[in-house]
Structure 1
Amino acid sequence: MLNDSKVTANVPATDLERARRFYADVLGLTPVDENPGGLIYTTGGGTSFFLYPTEYAGQAGHTIAQWHVNDVADEVRDLKAKGVDFEHYDMPGVSWDGDVATFEGMGRAAWFKDSEGNIMCLDDATIS
C-alpha cells in the first residue's frame, strides 16, 4: 500500500514565473517537466515536487518541504550569498548559531521562505 509508494510534495505559487526564477536563480533547480498544471522538479534520490499556481501560496504557516543536505551551515552560507533571508523560531531546547538551529541529539536545521512565502527547511541528511 502506501508504505511502498513515493511521496511528492506540492508547493503552491501565487506567481509561477516568479517562483520558477527563484527556484532556478537561487536554488539552482530546473523543472524536468512542465504541464498546464505547473512545474515538476526532481532532486537527488529520485524525490520530486510539483510547483503549481494558486492564490493560496505562502499561507500555510508551517514547513512545506525539507531539503536534506550534507552540511546545513554550508547551504545557509550559499543561499545567504544569493540574498536568501533565514527565519528564526522560538522553540524549546533549541540552540542557535547564527541562522542554524541545533536540536540536541537530532541534528541541525535552518528555515527560509521561497519567493511565494512558503516555508522551506534545510536539515542534516542524517536525520531524514
Structure 2
Amino acid sequence: MHIGPVIAVTDLDRAREFYEGKLGLTGEETPGGWLLTGGEGTVIYLLAGVPDAGSVSWPVASIRVGDAAETVRALRSRGVPFLGKDDLPFALDEDGVSADTSGVRVAWMRDPDGSVLTIFSRASPA
C-alpha cells in the first residue's frame, strides 16, 4: 500500500519553488499534478489550480527529521518562514521549536498558499 498526502496549491510553479527549491524535495510530473519525493519513502502530491488551497488551519503534512531545531535553522537560512509564539498556543524555544510538547519537538510553517506543515523530531531523553 502506498499513501501520501495531497496538498492543494493555486500556482504549481510557486509551490514547486517552495517544496523543491526551499525544502529540497525532488519533483516530477504525475497525472493531475506533481509528485514530490524525499528520503525514507516520503511522497507528497501537489494538486494544482485549487482556488481554496491553504484554507485549512491544521497541518496537511508532517515531516520527520533527525533534529527539528537544526532543520529549522537550515530551512530559515533558505528563506522558509516559521510560525512564531503569536501564531501558536505552544511555548517555543529560541529556534521556534515547541518547548512543551511531550516526546516530540515540533515547528510549524506555511507553504506559499498558507497550508500548514510541521517539522518534527523525537525529543531527546532527559
User: Normalised by the size of structure 1, how large is the TM-score?
Assistant: 0.83
Q: Which residue of 1 is the match for residue 30 of structure 2?
A: 35
Could you give the per-residue CA deviations for residues 42-74 of structure 1, whole angstroms, max 9, x where no partner exists?
A: 222213110111112110111010000000001
Could you give the per-residue CA deviations for residues 7-63 of structure 1, whole angstroms, max 9, x where no partner exists?
A: 2100111101111111122111221x3135110012222131101111121101110
Structure showing the higher strand proportion among its residues = 1
Q: Which residue of 2 is the match for residue 44 of structure 1?
A: 39
Q: Which residue of 2 is the match for residue 118 of structure 1?
A: 115
Q: Is the Cα contact below 8 Å between 2:62 and 2:118 reproduced in 1? A: yes
Identity %: 34
Structure 1 residue identity aligned to 2:32: G
Q: Which residue of 2 is the match for residue 22 of structure 1?
A: 18
CA distance 1:7–1:125, change in 2 (3 Å):
farther
Q: Which residue of 2 is the match for residue 63 of structure 1?
A: 59
Structure 1 residue runs without a partner (length 5+): none
State the alpha-carbon separation in 2 of the partners of residues 35 and 123 from structure 1: 28
1:103 Cα offset (Å):
3.6
State the alpha-carbon separation in 2 of the partners of residues 48 and 24 from structure 1: 12
Q: Secondary structure at the match of 2:98?
A: strand
User: Normalised by the size of structure 2, how large is the TM-score?
Assistant: 0.84
Is 1:10 aligned to 2:9, yes or no? no
Structure 2 residue identity aligned to 1:56: D
CA distance 1:37–1:87, change in 2 (3 Å):
same
Q: Is the Cα contact below 8 Å between 2:104 and 2:122 reproduced in 1? A: no
Which runs of structure 1 show a deviation greater than 3 angstroms over 4 or more consecutive aligned residues? none
RMSD: 1.7
1:104 Cα offset (Å):
4.6
Structure 2 residue runs without a partner (length 5+): none
CA distance 1:104–1:26, change in 2 (3 Å):
closer
State the alpha-carbon separation in 2 of the partners of residues 22 and 104 from structure 1: 27
